[in-house]
Each structure stands twice: as structure tokens, then as C-alpha cells.
Amino acid sequence: MLSKQVDGSYKASVVSYNLTDSEKQAIKAGNTPIDIAQKTFVSSMMSRESVGEPCYEAQTITIISPRDISASHTINIQAEVPCPTDDSDDGFWDDDGDTSGGGGANPGTGSDPFGGLLGGGNGIGDGTGNPNQTDPDDPDTTDPDGTQDCLELDAEGNCMDDATAILVPNETKDCEELRKNSENTTFKQRMQVLADAIPGDIEKAFGIYNGTYFNPPVSNPACGPIVDGDENHSGIVNSHPVLKAYAHNHLKNASGTRKHIGTFSPKDITNFNNIFTDSNSDDSPSPLLQHEMAYYLVCDEGNYVMKVKDGTKLLDFTILMGSDGFAKEVKDYYRKNKIKHGKPKKDQNLGFLKFMKEYNIGIDLYEADANFENWKKLELNEDENDINKTDC
């Protein structure tokens, strides 16, 4: 929340609401809970109480692609570190002001190609820069005293920390992107090829690109050809700066020791991270934004897609999967939570949603109808024994 002050600056606060699922649905219907004041929490973004709160330091790490163990590249990230003392002059920055929204719309600038995906920096992102500074070349002539939008003023004439509205949006950029792809005839034809191949013995895949960045520009989405894999692996689509999504299928009657499942495998998650990082590395700067990235699955149980919720967490999970001990732990979790070949669809979906929460992997899960349309976001209910489905 931004509260405009009489000197033209903005006071920035984070407003959170402790709401149950039923209260969220009530708010979407236009009914605000009568005890909303007791469920509202406001914290300032402009100060920290102690040096122990998060600060960030630029670090370079090497990513090794599971698709090709000999291939690697480096990326710049902002790693959380202990904050320095107030008199320190080290190259740190705390989590104030411009670290939450990205660095603007110019791709390729700055040392962090993730920009708003990992928090702060001047890389690629859909943020609008520092919300705590005014534009001296664009004065606010419609509100000279800076109080037009305030519900209540303090003694000095500044806006109070007043939560003016609760925003629980139905429409998101993720949903808009999913609809855009689903409205494309070639995309739906390719997805149907994947669906028709489910009873067979060869996995198939295709890449999805933002064609507006091609030379000359083409459609967005621009779909690549169908690529065959084998019974255990989907087809390989080479990385590309504007590869925004990957679609593949799981087979219904896979034989041998590997049985296909009705949701995303750990390998799918790490492959999604590879596409995400490959398109945002120093070696491959990309104009793509976070909401464009997606990883589709067509299987006998349904049509699904993963979207990036938090790129840092997705990367962290992928790095951990490089440990044999952690990979075994994940495999055991899948087995114990009925994410197995032949288990009912609902059990597998519930297990995967619990897995997403338990391991905090930074993704959201959506499901479409048989025509690859009408996407719904899947989430655990409050008791974690059922699935809430929210229309895009």
C-alpha cells in the first residue's frame, strides 16, 4: 500500500489479511467480513528493526543442466545474507523500496537477468521501478495537497495507514497468458497430438515461443514441431531466449520399471527450472517475463500446466534435487502420498499439491478441460483433504 504524503513522497507498507478460504470467496462476491480490522496487518517497507532482518548480496552461481551434464552456465542472483551494521559501507542493500518490483522494462540491462523474478536489480521484470520516488518531470497537478485519495488524514495532513480495499483478483497475468495460448489454433492442434499419443509407446513434446521477438516477427504463441522421445523420456526441445513454454505428454500404458504418473514428476519440475533459467541467463538474455513461462502436461488424468510463482524457490528445489539423498526423499514422498501410476486422479492431484506446499517449490498448478481451455487454478483447501478450483 502506498500512502501519499504532503511533501510528495510515498509511505510504503505491506498490508496482509489473515483470511480463511470461505472469507476469500465472500470477498470475491463483494461481502467484506465484519471483523476485517482484526484480520488486517500493516508493516512498513521503509525500515527494519534490527540488523538481523534480510539483506541481499550479489552472487554468481553455476547451473548444470540435467539434460546435458557437460553443459553449464552462470547466473547472477541476489542471495540473502546477514545485514551489515549501520555504519558499514559494504555493497549490500536491504529489502526496502525497489527490491520487490523489478527494475523496469528494458531487457538486458543490469547484471541480474532475473530482475523482478528474484527481487530487485535492473534486469528483466514487469515491475515499474522504485515506488517510493516521485517523478519531478510529472508533477501531480490534480491533487496539489496530496490527499485526494485518502480516507483519513493524520494531524499533519498525511494519509493514514488505511486499508482502503481488499484485492483478491480473479484475473491474473498467468491466466491471461494461458488463455492467449489456448486461443491459438496451432497450439490446440499440437496439444491434441500429445493427447492422441497417450495410449501409444512414445512420449511427444513441442516448444512454445513468443514469436513477436523473431526476425521477422510471427505470432505469439509460435509453436515448434512435434518432437518424439521414447517410452521414458519426452522429446528434447533446445533452449532458446524466447522459448516461453514446453508441452509434453505422459503415457497411459508405460511398461517396465518406470510407470508414468498423472501429474508432474520431479524431473518435470527441474526441467521447468532449466527452461526458466536458460531463458534468463547472462549467456542468453531474454525479453520474456515471468508470467509467460509455463510447463504443460497432457496425460490420461487431465491437462495441466505449471506456472512460476517464485523463481528463487524453483531454483532452490532444483539445486537440492542434485543431491542423491534429497532425490530419494522426494521419491519416497511421491510414493507415500499416492502420486503413482494407476492411482485415482484426485489422489495424485492432492498428493502433488501437498508436495508443492511441503517443499515450497515456487510453482502454481492449473488444469484445463478436454479442449485445452477454461483453465482453473488448483489449490489445497483449508483442511488439505480436498481441492479448491478457481476459474481463470
Assign 154 a pLDDT band (cuts: 50, 70, 90): low
Radius of gyration of the chain (CA): 23
Whether 221 and 209 have beta carbons less than 8 Å apart is answered as yes
Cα–Cα–Cα angle for 5, 10, 16, rounded to 5 degrees: 115
Strand 55-64 relative to strand 2-4: parallel, antiparallel, unpaired? Answer: unpaired
As a residue count, the chain comes to: 392
Q: Which three cell numbers stand for residue 214?
A: 523473431
Assign 232 a pLDDT band (cuts: 50, 70, 90): confident
**CA-based nearest residue to 119, from 138, 136, 151, 95:** 95
Summarised one tens digit per residue, pLDDT across range 27-47 is 766 566 656 666 676 655 543
Summarised one tens digit per residue, pLDDT across range 289-321 is 999 999 999 999 999 999 999 999 999 999 999
pTM equals 0.60
Average pLDDT along the chain? 72
Which residue did the predictor score with more confidence, 273 or 231?
Answer: 273
Three-class SS state of 301: coil
Residues of the chain with pLDDT > 70: what percent? 55
In order of 262, 331, 344, the CA distances from 256 in angstroms are 17, 18, 21
Q: Among positive and negative, which fits the CA dihedral 64, 65, 69, 75? A: negative
What pLDDT is attached to residue 41?
64
| Longest pairwise C-alpha distance within the chain | 75
What pLDDT is attached to residue 118?
22
The average pLDDT across 256-284 equals 84
What pLDDT is attached to residue 375?
97
- Return the axis-axis angle of helices 266-278 and 324-336, rounded to nearest 10°: 130
Q: How is the beta sheet containing 2-4 ordered, strand by strand? A: 2-4, 10-17, 40-44
Assign 115 a pLDDT band (cuts: 50, 70, 90): very low
Q: Cα-Cα-Cα-Cα dihedral of 336, 316, 287, 216, to 10°?
A: -50
**CA-based nearest residue to 272, from 232, 230, 243:** 243
